[in-house]
Chain A
C-alpha cells in the first residue's frame, strides 16, 4: 500500500483528503505545517507528498526546495488554491501542480500519474 503524506494547515480540508484518499486505497498521514512535513520526510519518507503552498511559517515552496535537498526521489504534488504560483520557477521541481477544488478528481488523477511515472522509473 502506497503511503501519502498530506501537508495542509486547513484541518477540515486535510480531513477530507485523508478520507477520500484512504477510500482510494492509500495509507494517508496528515501534518499541518511545512516543518512537520520535512521532519516526517527525513525520518520516514512516504511514497508521495501532497504539499499546500500557503501555510503559516514556512510555505510550501520553501519546503519543496528543502525537501529536494533532503530526498530528491520523493514525488511531490503542490496543491494550492492559487494558480499564479505555477509561473514561479521555484515550483517547477514539483512533479505536479494542482489547483484546489472541492472535487478531488484532478488531485487523485495527479497522484495516480505521478506514482505511475515513479514506478516506470524504478
Chain B
C-alpha cells in the first residue's frame, strides 16, 4: 500500500516508521525543513519538506496514487483541508485525520473524512474507564462513531434490577447484548434477570445515551458522583 503521511510530529514520525517496517510504501510531508531533515536522517529520503496543505505539493508527493492519506498534524484545520484536497482533488480512496478537538469530530465526519483518530477522545475514554464517574462507560465506537458500545453497572436504584432483559425498555436501535456478572460474560436472553452489580454491555446509537442511562442507571439528573 502507498500511504502519504502529512505532518512530521511525533505521531507522523512513528506512524511512518511503523508503516515502513510493515512493508508499506510511505511518503512523509513535513513543512518545517529542519524537522524534515531530522526525520530524513533517521528513516531515509522519503521525507518531503513541503506543506501538505498546498495542492501542488500534494501532487508532487504523488497524492493521486496514494491508497491512504493520513493527515496527522497538530492543527485540526490543516488536517481537514489535507483530507478534503486528497479526496476531492486527488480521488484518494481513504483519508484519515487526526482530530485534536473532539468537538470537531462530527463536522469532519460529515465533510467526508473516512477515519478519525482523536488522541484527546482516546485518553478521555481511558480515564472514564478507570474512574467511572458517569457509570455509563464508552467501551468503543463503531461504524464511524455512530454506534457505541457502552457498559453500565447496575447499582442500587437502577430501574433495570430484578427485571428480565426483555422488560427493560430499550430506545430504538439499542440492544443489550451481554452481561458481565462476577467477571464472567453471560449472554443475554430475553428472560435473563438483571441483578445488582451486573455490568450490562449494550450497543446503540450515540444519541441514545441519555435514554440508556435512564433505563440502566436511573434518571441522569439524579446522577451520583463517583464513590457515592
B partners with A: no
List the interface of chain A (C-beta within 8 A of B): none
List the interface of chain B (C-beta within 8 A of A): none
